[in-house]
Structure 1
């Protein structure tokens, strides 16, 4: 066996050496293309977190460096138009410019199912050959790997490229070595090896030899980005590089989930588990811990809360192996006697996932050493208290305490053994509503750290040295300012009364042009408000200024609609004063808006304004949510509320967005204390459409 390991390592070294020799020849035959950036992502048409990183990264570069040409090395048969549509459909990412693709014929070389034995080293050799194919077709000025194949780096470097990479997880890690040394049977170390000392020693030698080659290849990267502290620590210890990797958290699409109210209908208690049905996700541990919690539940009210609860297992099935595992898990639930308390939600669409998260009180995660943990972030964004595995990214970056007014505030629970999971499950199911809201609010605030905006800022900062050089080559003689886009950003004013239990959150965004803040702060204070804390643009990659405000006399949130409208109008007036270039984007700055406010004009198609109204029931069933999108104008919110009051509809709370010339409002409404039924939904829709579409709300 040792001879086979030595032979495979030697073959990998020979393959890389041969490829390097070939590239010496190709370097003279193929000209490097100045002003280009090429992304090595053979399966760019996938739908995972790695693909989201790819598309947000491309979008960021296209906006920041419009003169640079971008292309993607991708499997044969996928066109640029298909990929662009895929990014829009699956990730809601619209790319501002076209890009090109370089088709690869031999992508099968990096598929793990091709190699049943010595998978890592054979995949590594396959990736080197695929990288050689890519670079023999086209050589960019900057070669960016977003898939984790470090074995392509020496080839790209020899071809004359600058090399950048975004690493989701190390191909081999010290944790993997530790588990083999301790002879622990896991997904990557089966029992046949763990129970045999000789085989374990050989596998350790195999891992160590592989790690040496991996570290050598990683040293060729000029820019190294990683997705978590856990990944950064491993890459720093393995790669032969002096530079410290830049930690750039992946972009999590949490905006939609953060709109969910934190309140939950506690008469229907349930936990969720969101993960693909794969062995490494270890859903058996979740079932075992949940069964243990039910068995230990006492006869009191707290015990009853545990017994009446449900566990909803949400996941995707990709093929026969996943389906087989799902059936095994269902059999295990029957064996544990909890089959009637466990619901299986397979391949659900995002709308259903959103609804499930909107009613859950806790979310389970049990994968050991997960490099990041996007499902944990989604739990927190939705106001679901996470119970995550005490390892990897969740422990290092995600489920961490936040500093609050009364000291550190936990954002969830970490566990490792069935007993620890059992304790955490019981605690979440029986905790008082006030405590649950406090933890959920802190978790939701922390989830904002993993936004697309923060990823874009961190990615562009790390890429600046190589991207600037590419931009200079694409537009020789132009200054940095001349190469930058001149489009005026869209001003955004957002007033959020939902997601923080203690303050009204006011956000102002205008690209990188927000300079004057003192007058805005003074104006807010003159309205009788107290700014309890603030997050300013420029810090930690933020592009917006966020103020947490309360009533200066009572320290309560701002609930009066008239006062919310005063806040909105004060900020918009300051934008118009200090940034007159925003006047074309804001309705208040358009002279044409006077025509829309002419109350004497008869209602006709000529003077009607575009308006969208949608009323749905909140996921927790406590109220209805009325979404309104209409052109903005002074007094709009007050008039909307007055119209609803005329038909006896109560506005419990609201989230107010002003994005350029449009108002996008979200009102949480009830009729006689209950969500609206069908006839009331129609009445509300008709009333608002009549008044808003005609531009003639009663004063």
Structure 2
């Protein structure tokens, strides 16, 4: 029905357009008298009629071509609107989260990149190469963002991942796969500086981006929040800093949001929560290290 209405409107337009020569002549007769009288010969009307018919023929063909293209398109029922070039330039923020607390039996890995991620077969294969087993995978959608969640365990033990070095390998492996199969995300990841097709244009000021907080989480452990500029090896380095002052890391949630790392650690000292003095020592050590990434940890 929509197509017939469109073509019908063109016919109306054609008939009205074809009557315009006579109205144009009436306007011309109102010009001052010194202007010569218009040519009203039949030959003139014949030439104009041929011109109008030629234009309308081209216009009708153009309309029909658009109608046929709509019928043959993938989604003929959906109106087609011009797409802004800015829509293609908007790259969603890549996010990778590794959670040690959500499941007592497995390490949870969650990643999203707008609606651009596929089945992630290559990512699962890369995790298997690390000696890991993906025992469960789910996909959920929140608005325009598709979130993929994996439950992984170690192949040799069937238990969740406890080794900090392996946790960091998991994180870097996933980010490396994002850079490989979605190179457009390189501007929004710290690893894009070295491994991406284009380095991030905006650099994060470490002094401004770094926030550290320690709070009690019961009598046996404390919760440590760290937000800072991301870089390869960050998780392992932070855990080493804590180990240097005899603080134990019981579990972790490692969250990478674009260029920013947002991590949570359950920590303890000799099986107890950190007191205020030790909490301050921990914050100072981490702040000193994070704000000076070139500083050798041994200089503590």
TM-score by length of 1: 0.29
The answer for the alignment partner of 1:532 in structure 2 is 135
Shift in Å, 1:493? 0.3
Quote how far apart the aligned CAs of 1:518 are.
Answer: 1.4
Alignment map for 1:84-483 (pairs within 5 Å):
478-479=81-82, 481-482=83-84
CA distance in 2, matches of 1:607, 1:637: 16
Alpha-carbon offset, residue 538 of structure 1:
5.9
Report deviation, 1:485.
4.0
State which of 597, 602, 610 in structure 1 corresponds to 2:209: 610
Q: 1:621 and 1:485, CA in 2 relative to 1: closer, same or farther beyond 3 A?
A: farther
SS, match of residue 587 in structure 1: coil
Q: Which has the larger radius of gyration?
A: 2
Q: 1:491 to 1:682 in 2, by over 3 A?
A: same
Structure 1 unaligned residues grouped into runs of 5+ = 1-467, 597-605
Q: Call closer, same or farther: CA 1:559–1:533 in 2, change over 3 Å.
A: same
- What is the deviation of 1:696? 2.9
1:630: which partner in 2?
228
Post-superposition Cα deviations, 1:347-395, rounded to whole Å, max 9, x if no partner, equal xxxxxxxxxxxxxxxxxxxxxxxxxxxxxxxxxxxxxxxxxxxxxxxxx
Cα distance in 2 between the residues matched to 1:678 and 1:667: 17
Contact 1:576 1:583 in 2 (8 A): yes
Q: Which ranges of structure 2 fall in alignment gaps of 5 or more residues?
A: 1-76
Change over 3 Å in CA distance of 1:582–1:499 after alignment to 2? same
DSSP 3-state at the match of 2:270: coil
Partner residue in 1 for 2:283: 685
Given that 2:229 and 2:261 are in contact with CA atoms closer than 8 Å, whether structure 1 keeps it comes out as yes
* Distance in structure 1 (CA, Å) of the matches to 2:188 and 2:219: 37
Aligned position for 1:671: 269
For residue 537 of structure 1, report the CA deviation from its aligned partner: 5.1
SS of the equivalent of 1:590 reads: helix
| Counterpart for residue 641 of structure 1 | 239
Q: Distance in 1 between matches of 2:241 and 2:135?
A: 33
Q: Distance in 2 between matches of 1:696 and 1:671?
A: 28
Shift of 1:508: 1.0
- Cα root mean square deviation, aligned: 2.8
CA distance in 2, matches of 1:607, 1:631: 6
Distance 1:695 1:608, change over 3 A: farther
- For residue 541 of structure 1, report the CA deviation from its aligned partner: 8.8
Distance 2:283 2:86 in 1: 44
The alpha-carbon distance between structure 1 residues 665 and 569, as it changes in their structure 2 partners (threshold 3 A), is: same
User: How far apart are residue 502 of structure 1 and its match?
Assistant: 1.3
Aligned equivalents of 1:541, 1:631: Cα separation in 2:
26
The yes-or-no answer on 1:564 pairing with 2:167 is yes
> Which secondary structure does the structure 1 equivalent of 2:209 belong to?
coil
Other-structure match for 1:489: 92
Task: Indicate the structure whose relative CO is greater, using CA pairs within 8 Å and at least 6 residues apart.
Answer: 2
Distance 2:117 2:295 in 1: 33
Task: Give the Cα separation in 2 of the matches to 1:607 and 1:628.
Answer: 12
